[in-house]
A = this chain, B = another copy of it.
């Protein structure tokens, strides 16, 4: 099986490592607008070959799109127009807009929309690691619009890692992604900015920051190239969650103002129930 990965960064690079290691891919071709990324991927032997887009598409059995969302929206229809019977899948963080763009494409059924729910705050080929996806969930969206063969092969790919598969429609996916991923990033970016603003002149105070602070702002290291297009694509859902999150914070604020620490205690207890859920 020859796999062409378009966008050799954290996600694409990590998939390349994993699929080569487990034998699913015999040959991995990398395509990237950034030559340096291709060079690094070749030197680390993450890819076997770096070529241009058209050659990469022609030579592949499966094409994996793992660029930022804005690039993906442009590339996907072009790639579908280039293929004959190749299978195309994406690993993007938003789905509704992408699915809309290709919904009437004659090769729509060769495409499978997926989102492996894994990542780190780092980006680029330097951040690619083995085991990033092991036993996590991947979402496959609007699977009824993909051919049986395309769906089967993409399922085999994910099961080889192994990953668990969940099926959602594109709209549901984007709502849930806003809640379990996108809002965490906005919260981290905002927290980092709030604290950076305050501590501008007192750098050494960060020496006092413990691992709890580090954990909460970890995602604030995430790349604007990757995340700005996600926020643009999922704007409406994110606005809904952000409004609710601001309301919850405003509720805590109001309890502090009223010195109502009894209700504050109860809200913390409620929040604690996240324990049960995160244990899974």
Contact = CB atoms under 8 A, between A and B. Distances in A.
Interface in A192-237: 192-199, 202-224, 227-228, 231-232, 235
A249 B252 contact: no
Interface stretch (A24-32, A78-86, A99-107, A115-123): A115-123
A210 B197 CA distance: 29
A190 to B, nearest CB: 4
Number of copies: 2
Contacts of A220: 271-272, 274
A207 to B, nearest CB: 5
B180 A241 contact: no
A136 B206 CA distance: 11
B184 A191 contact: yes
A28 B179 CA distance: 47
Given A207-B166, A212-B119, A238-B256, A194 B275 contact: no
Interface string A86-125: 0000000000000000000000000000000111110000
A36 interface: no
Interface size class on chain A is 35 or more
A213 B181 contact: yes
Contacts of A151: none
A161 B137 CA distance: 41
A120 B205 CA distance: 20
A109 to B, nearest CB: 25
Given A206-B278, A252-B242, A256-B239, A271 B213 contact: no
A197 B244 contact: yes
A102 to B, nearest CB: 23
Contact of A205 (B176, B194, B204, B210): B176
